[in-house]
Amino acid sequence: MTIVVLTLAGEPIPGHLRYEWIRELYPDCTVVHHDHDMPQEPQNPHDIPFYHAWRDTLRKHCPQDDFDALFASESYGYQVAWALGVRFIPVDTARGAVQISGTAMRSDPWRYWAHLHPVIRPYFLKRVAITGGDAQTREGLAAALAAAYDTCHIADYAATFCADLARNIAGWSAADLTAQDIHTIARGQKASMDALARQANRVIFSATTLREIQNMSQARFGRAPDWLAAAAAAEKYDIVLSLDENGGTNGSLRLKAPTIDAARKALHGHLPPLPDAV
């Protein structure tokens, strides 16, 4: 099976992302990225140049394939298959299986969340970071908000890492943390973020950020790993709930939320409500 992912310049979702999604969703198929502009509709049922253009571009992009059938959901698939000299197998041309357009899903992903595959959900996920204060307060706030929004939260990996070492190594304390440990902490935090983003329900709450870990490393050891600085700069959140007045946001909306009640009130104006949300 060969899947051709057609993308156009200026589309709402970058074409390379759609291509990577399909590759991950169908690892046993050959996935081809077609990023050349092509006419999207024939001018009339007898628009032979249109059908031949699609025949030629499909053969150009899949030179190794000897097609025996064309699967498509467009009605003109019959004519393109004719031009290719293969059978046409229509796939839900009436759009009855999933009666939601791509435009509607993109405009209101919260409403149609159940139709989004976990591979794709991180792209539409709302991300809320909690910064400032102490780790225990941030963790409590993130967990409480996640429960209210029926989703999951990302714990502060540094706190759990230190607690685990203290529990298993006699006499160990946070004062024994080393600069090398920062690599482990930061990678653990990022791995947690990436994994839980696929499990989250519309929004995810993080008890810390890579920027916070970078700042901790700078304050403690006078330096931070170069890769961590780059990862922290690339990290984006829709909203930052601040327990104090310090820290940057990487362009995110910053809200002062020192308590759970303050956080709930602040989020009401910036996150679409869930049926049972606070």
| pLDDT tens track for 190-221 | 999 999 999 999 999 999 999 999 999 999 99
Q: What is the mean pLDDT of residues 227-243?
A: 92
Q: Which domains does the chain have, with CATH numbers?
A: 2-107 (3.40.50.620), 113-268 (3.40.50.300)
Give the residues across from 234 on adjacent strands: none
Please state, in angstroms and rounded to a whole number, the distance separating the CA atoms of residues 94 and 2.
Answer: 23
Q: Which of residues 260 and 3 earns the better pLDDT score?
A: 3
**Highest mean pLDDT of the ranges 98-112, 213-227, 254-268:** 213-227
Q: Is the pLDDT of residue 271 over 50?
A: yes
Q: What is the mean pLDDT of residues 113-118?
A: 93
Query: pLDDT category, 100, cuts 50, 70, 90?
Result: confident
pLDDT for residue 278: 37
Please state, in angstroms and rounded to a whole number, the distance separating the CA atoms of residues 159 and 200.
Answer: 22
Q: What is the mean pLDDT of residues 177-199?
A: 96
Query: pLDDT category, 274, cuts 50, 70, 90?
Result: low
Q: Is the pLDDT of residue 264 over 90?
A: no
Please state, in angstroms and rounded to a whole number, the distance separating the CA atoms of residues 168 and 176.
Answer: 14
- Which residue pairs from 77-85 have beta carbons closer than 8 angstroms and sit at least 24 positions apart in sequence? 79/42, 79/45, 79/51, 80/51, 80/54, 80/55, 82/51, 83/48, 83/51, 83/52, 83/54, 83/55, 84/55, 84/58, 84/59
Q: Is the pLDDT of residue 250 over 60?
A: no
**Highest mean pLDDT of the ranges 2-11, 93-102, 188-197, 237-246:** 188-197
pLDDT for residue 229: 94
